[in-house]
């Protein structure tokens, strides 16, 4: 059997990075929300905020743990699976990731311990500072990673000398043409994802008529934040799409699903692309809307993928459907946010059970849209690993297909266990309810009480030690 290490390595990286990105997205968003909630608690002394903090901290802690261990894998896969990638890009994006570790990871890792276990050791002010620094750390981390990934999308600031990349201008490498659009897009995606999770859990309790004060506060917070973030995100996404068109034409051509440049184009919803024949065997769309979205006129011309030579084309189907998933989910969330604003204005937010059901179903929508967005970005960049410079197929390691296959299967198994455990424990935390999250801060006692969920341990507080 002939195993293709290029394809297998891409599958392995795809698997590990897809699994990973869900967790940092959650962490970035939840860390920001936890900072806000703890600030509200310190300001208002309302214990409900502390209960919300403790409850979401438990889920944040588990998600952060999974995010850390799955993230380290990626930084080593650059070398194990993509040696040529590492040799070429190491001098360019290596320092960026190095700065990420130095400016963000150590900050997060150090203060995470205090955030999770230190409430009873350092006092509320230092504890709040720790929460804030963890949130800041996740954001700085995202900034460096987006800088590195954006450089792969739109390389700048280097020249090629003897087959090596030599950086001529670090500012151009870091602030490469796409970074400043993609970073806020990703941060907003994380905030939206977290707002949806919080609204979804609030909706669940509202529907079950349990923990009503907690449910109302979080549902209101979640839907309120969602409506602000999603509005900003639609604007941001649109701005980015317009800026990316000249920078990465082939990605944009594949996103819209057309092979030939088409005037007065419908907005395609379903296509059956045939990459060999360079045509869609079937397509269905809404008349005029495509031209309207892309060119801002009813008769404008949509770009087509045939404008890119076939050996430089990304796979049409994957890019198109990934983009459609993200964009249509974005529109659904915008509609949900508008309904939320309307219900709030009519004072029916906590009465409209159909809306609570809707928000419960939409709870994972932010994470799904984020993954779909990354698929659009990464599949759309193909066949290049550094757009226009180096092909993905030329970036792999001299390792055997059998090694890659066996570790890929192992990763799939291991990550499946992590996913099941994470979901099972999260569902248990939700089922047990926020009543178990201690309502009074403990400033003495053993570490475990900081995160204990066993009611007996929580209720006796620090008294028994």
Scan residues 436-455 and list those touching other proteins (CB under 8 A). 446-448, 451-454
- Cα–Cα–Cα angle for 84, 87, 90, rounded to 5 degrees: 125
- φ/ψ of 391, rounded to 5, equals -85, 150
Positive or negative torsion for Cα 112, 114, 119, 120: positive
Is 329 a binder of other proteins (CB under 8 A)?
Answer: no
Compute the distance between CA of residue 245 and CA of residue 350 in angstroms, rounded to an integer: 43
Residue from 91, 263, 364, 388 binding other proteins (CB under 8 A): 91
The residue (of 91 and 263) whose beta carbon lies closer to other proteins is 91
Compute the distance between CA of residue 83 and CA of residue 132 in angstroms, rounded to an integer: 37
Residue 143 CB, nearest distance to other proteins (Å)?
14
Residue 222 CB, nearest distance to other proteins (Å)?
23
Q: Judge contact between 165 and 91, C-beta under 8 A.
A: yes
* Stretch (H or E) spanning 272: strand 267-274
The residue (of 376 and 407) whose beta carbon lies closer to other proteins is 407
Is 7 a binder of other proteins (CB under 8 A)?
Answer: no
Is 420 a binder of other proteins (CB under 8 A)?
Answer: no
Footprint (CB under 8 A) of other proteins, residues 99-128: 99-103, 105-114, 116-118, 121-122
Q: Judge contact between 167 and 331, C-beta under 8 A.
A: no
Residue from 3, 167, 298, 338 binding other proteins (CB under 8 A): 167
**Residue 347, SS3?**
coil
Q: Judge contact between 464 and 454, C-beta under 8 A.
A: no
Residue from 208, 299, 346, 428 binding other proteins (CB under 8 A): 428
Helical packing angle, 401-432 and 5-44, nearest 10°: 20
Footprint (CB under 8 A) of other proteins, residues 20-79: 58, 61-62, 64-66, 68-70, 72-73, 75-76, 78-79
The residue (of 166 and 272) whose beta carbon lies closer to other proteins is 166
Tokens of 430: 């939700």
In the block, tokens 């609030």 appear at 202
Q: Judge contact between 415 and 16, C-beta under 8 A.
A: yes
Footprint (CB under 8 A) of other proteins, residues 170-199: 170
Compute the distance between CA of residue 24 and CA of residue 284 in angstroms, rounded to an integer: 36
Core vs surface per residue 423-448: b (16+ CB within 10 A) or e:
eeebeebbeeebebbbeebbeebeee
Nearest to 388, CA basis, from 96, 74, 177 = 177
Residue 206 CB, nearest distance to other proteins (Å)?
24
Residue from 22, 429, 437, 458 binding other proteins (CB under 8 A): 429
Residue from 388, 400, 423, 440 binding other proteins (CB under 8 A): 400
Nearest to 274, CA basis, from 234, 300, 313, 329 = 313
Residue 383 CB, nearest distance to other proteins (Å)?
21
The residue (of 234 and 389) whose beta carbon lies closer to other proteins is 389
Residue 227 CB, nearest distance to other proteins (Å)?
32
**Total chain residues near other proteins (CB under 8 A):** 78
**Residue 281, SS3?**
strand
The residue (of 82 and 291) whose beta carbon lies closer to other proteins is 82
Residue 141 CB, nearest distance to other proteins (Å)?
11
Among the listed ranges 232-240, 351-359, 377-385, 395-403, the one in contact with other proteins (CB under 8 A) is 395-403
Is 416 a binder of other proteins (CB under 8 A)?
Answer: no
Which residues are registered as beta bridge partners of 282?
272
The residue (of 5 and 314) whose beta carbon lies closer to other proteins is 5
The residue (of 295 and 403) whose beta carbon lies closer to other proteins is 403
Footprint (CB under 8 A) of other proteins, residues 255-294: none
Residue 127 CB, nearest distance to other proteins (Å)?
10
Compute the distance between CA of residue 370 and CA of residue 388 in angstroms, rounded to an integer: 25
Is 383 a binder of other proteins (CB under 8 A)?
Answer: no
User: Burial of 373 by CB count in 10 Å (0-12 exposed, 13-18 middle, 19+ buried)?
Assistant: buried
Residue 21 CB, nearest distance to other proteins (Å)?
16
The residue (of 141 and 382) whose beta carbon lies closer to other proteins is 141
Q: How many helices (H) and strands (E) does the chain have?
A: 16, 8
Footprint (CB under 8 A) of other proteins, residues 141-160: none
């Amino acid at each position: 059997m002939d195993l293709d290490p290029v394809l297998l390595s891409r599958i392995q990286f795809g698997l590990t990075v897809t699994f990973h990105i869900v967790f940092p997205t959650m962490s970035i968003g939840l860390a920001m929300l936890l900072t806000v909630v703890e600030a509200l608690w310190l300001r208002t002394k309302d214990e409900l905020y502390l209960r919300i903090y403790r409850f979401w901290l438990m889920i944040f802690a588990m998600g952060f743990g999974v995010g850390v261990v799955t993230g380290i894998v990626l930084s080593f896969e650059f070398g194990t699976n993509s040696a040529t990638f590492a040799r070429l890009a190491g001098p360019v994006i290596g320092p960026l990731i190095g700065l990420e570790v130095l400016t963000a990871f150590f900050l997060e890792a150090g203060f995470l311990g205090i955030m999770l276990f230190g409430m009873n050791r350092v006092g509320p002010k230092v504890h709040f500072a720790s929460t804030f620094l963890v949130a800041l750390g996740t954001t700085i981390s995202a900034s460096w990673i987006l800088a590195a990934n954006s450089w792969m999308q739109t390389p700048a600031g280097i020249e090629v000398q003897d087959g090596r990349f030599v950086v001529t201008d670090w500012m151009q490498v870091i602030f490469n043409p796409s970074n400043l659009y993609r970073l806020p897009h990703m941060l907003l995606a994380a905030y939206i994802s977290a707002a949806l999770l919080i609204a979804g859990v609030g909706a669940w309790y509202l529907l079950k008529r349990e923990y009503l004060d907690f449910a109302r506060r979080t549902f209101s917070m979640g839907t309120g934040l969602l409506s602000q973030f999603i509005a900003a995100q639609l604007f941001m996404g649109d701005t980015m799409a317009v800026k990316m068109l000249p920078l990465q034409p082939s990605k944009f051509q594949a996103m819209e699903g057309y092979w030939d440049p088409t005037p007065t184009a419908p907005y395609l919803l379903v296509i059956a692309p045939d990459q060999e024949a360079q045509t869609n065997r079937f397509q269905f769309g809404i008349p005029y809307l495509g031209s309207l979205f892309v060119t801002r006129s009813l008769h404008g011309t949509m770009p087509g993928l045939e404008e890119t030579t076939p050996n430089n084309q990304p796979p049409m189907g994957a890019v198109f459907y990934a983009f459609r998933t993200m964009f249509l989910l974005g529109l659904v969330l915008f509609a949900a946010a508008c309904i939320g604003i309307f219900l709030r204005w009519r004072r029916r937010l906590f009465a409209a059970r159909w809306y609570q059901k809707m928000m419960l179903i939409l709870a994972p929508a932010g994470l799904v849209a984020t993954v779909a967005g990354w698929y659009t970005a990464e599949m759309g960049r193909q066949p290049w690993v550094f757009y226009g410079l180096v092909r993905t197929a030329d970036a792999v390691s001299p390792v055997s297909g059998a090694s890659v296959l066996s570790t890929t299967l192992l990763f799939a198994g291991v990550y499946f266990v992590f996913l099941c455990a994470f979901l099972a424990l999260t569902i248990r935390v939700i089922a047990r309810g926020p009543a178990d999250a201690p309502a009074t801060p403990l400033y003495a006692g053993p570490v475990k009480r900081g995160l204990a969920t066993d009611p007996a341990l929580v209720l006796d507080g620090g008294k028994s030690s």
